[in-house]
Structure 1
C-alpha cells in the first residue's frame, strides 16, 4: 500500500495512492493497520461497488470499524451516479459528522478531515 502524507493543517492525513480494491472488511482493516495516520483519504474506485449497495451491509460494517477504531475517512468521487435514495440519505448523514465524508475532490477531503 502506498500513501501520500498531507500536512496542510493540524492533522496529518494519509491519502491512499497505490492500487488497491477494498472488497471486504478484512481488506479495510489491513488498510487501517498499514495507514500512517488515523485520518485516511481513499478514492471511490478503491472500494468495491457492493459498498454503495446498502443492502449488502458492507458500508455499515465499514462505518462500524471507523467508529470502533476512532479513524476518520474521506471517500473521494462522483456519487451522483447512484440513484438510491437510501444511499443519498446515508451520504448526507455521514457528511454531517466529519467522521466519514463523501466528497468530490481530495482537497475537499483534506479540508473536512483536518482538525
Structure 2
C-alpha cells in the first residue's frame, strides 16, 4: 500500500504505507506532518503502521515517542499508531498506550475498524 489520504468516519486521515523506511528521526516526524497537510483535505490524523517505527519509539526512555507525540500535537495533527503493539510489553509503554488512547492527540489502534471506533468517540 502506498501513502494515501483516506476518509474514515468522514475524517480525513493520511495513511502511511506499510512498506518503506522506519521513522527514526525528528525530521521523519516533521516530513510526515507536512505530507499529511499536503494531501488535499488537510488530514486531521496521520496513521503510521507500527512496523514503520524504529525500535526507539517503543522504548520510552529514549524520548523518541514523546518527541513524536509533541511534534504532532504542536502542529495540530493527530498521530495514530496502527497495528498490534502488545509485543512491546514494558509496563511503562503499555501504560502510555492506555493513557494516550483516552486523549485526543495520540492513539494506538489495532486496525482501521478500531480507528473508526476511536474517531466516533
Higher relative contact order (CA 8 A, sep 6+): 1
Alignment of 1:32-71 (within 5 A): 32-35=33-36, 36=39, 37-71=43-77
Displacement of 1:9: 2.7
Aligned-partner SS, 1:12: strand
Q: Deviating runs (4+, > 6 A) in structure 1?
A: none
| Corresponding residue of 1:109 | 115
Unaligned runs of 5+ in 2: none
Q: Report the aligned-residue RMSD.
A: 1.8
The alignment's TM-score, normalised by the length of structure 1, stands at: 0.87
CA separation in 2, counterparts of 1:69 and 1:21?
A: 21
The size of the alignment, in residue pairs, is 114
Going from structure 1 to structure 2, the CA distance change for 1:51 and 1:8 (only over 3 Å counts) comes to closer
Unaligned runs of 5+ in 1: none
The alignment's TM-score, normalised by the length of structure 2, stands at: 0.83
CA separation in 1, counterparts of 2:8 and 2:30?
A: 26
